[in-house]
Amino acid sequence: MREHAPEGPLREVLSALLATRPRVILRTSPHQGGQPHLGVIAAQHDRLADDDTSMGSSTAARRVGLQPHQAAVAARARQFAEALGLPPRVIDSVTRAALWHDEGKRDPRFQIMLWGGNRAAADIAEQPLAKSGIAPSDRAAFVRARTAAGYPDGMRHESLSARIAAARLTGDHDIHSDLVIHLVASHHGHARPLLPPVVDPRPTKVTVDDLGPFDTADTIDWQQPHRFSQLNDAYGRWGLALLETIVRLADIWCSARNETIEDKP
């Protein structure tokens, strides 16, 4: 089966799945005389996880720094966009979104979570993390880390990431700002048009470089539905979905391989 898949992520995913020991679950029905009639094959692998959950988007086989991860995702996103022959302004916008997609992980509570709930380790770390080093299959460890860190259950780092991206875009006319903000907000499949409306019960201030503090109480961007509608008009439904896919796939690609900027193609 894997030999017939095209080169690239699909073949990699199939290879990883086939390398696991699958569990075959046989379910019976009283209407079928108790005979097994349905088989479900389930496989779990430490390199694979759902990227649309907080756990899946932040766990990996080893710890990965935020800046090296974002730089690698930006390089891959540009590579994919150029291969598709997209216009230069769109390529630059996609690349910029990929470069800032995880900025919301700078929240101190998120960093403590990525350090397994170890507040001291997060405080003395030389750089913020993008990936925790917690195995994607170890949900219990992730829940313990999130609880110890005090990061609200269900809150999305993409919300803060999009706000940071918007602040960085001020006065930049060489790229499509609304597209960048949307691609950052939607890079795990949400924000179409809204991120989950989770209220931060204990808001904190997150200081980013020279941009100043960001208040995590502002978790919902009510301009996003209008932005999403306009982008659908500008690029078409399938066109916008394609641009979202480029950023999301670049993130998945680099996360699955622990690829950093040092591994830039």
Q: What is the pLDDT of residues 1-55, one digit of tens each?
A: 456 655 655 555 556 556 655 444 444 444 555 554 444 444 445 555 567 666 6
Amino acid at 121: A
Q: In whole angstroms, what is the distance from residue 194 CA to residue 196 CA?
A: 6
pLDDT number for residue 219: 79
Lowest mean pLDDT among 180-184, 198-202, 254-258, 259-263: 259-263
pLDDT > 70: percent of the chain: 77
Give the pairing type, strands 129-132 and 205-208.
Answer: unpaired
Between 156 and 43, where is the model more confident? 156
Q: What is the CB neighbour count within 10 angstroms for residue 247?
A: 28
pLDDT number for residue 4: 60
| pLDDT of residue 227 exceeding 90 | yes
Tally of residues, the chain: 265
Q: In whole angstroms, what is the distance from residue 246 CA to residue 79 CA?
A: 9
Q: In whole angstroms, what is the distance from residue 264 CA to residue 79 CA?
A: 10
Average pLDDT, whole number, for the chain?
85
pLDDT number for residue 59: 72
Residue whose entry in the numeric block shows the structure tokens 């380790």: 121
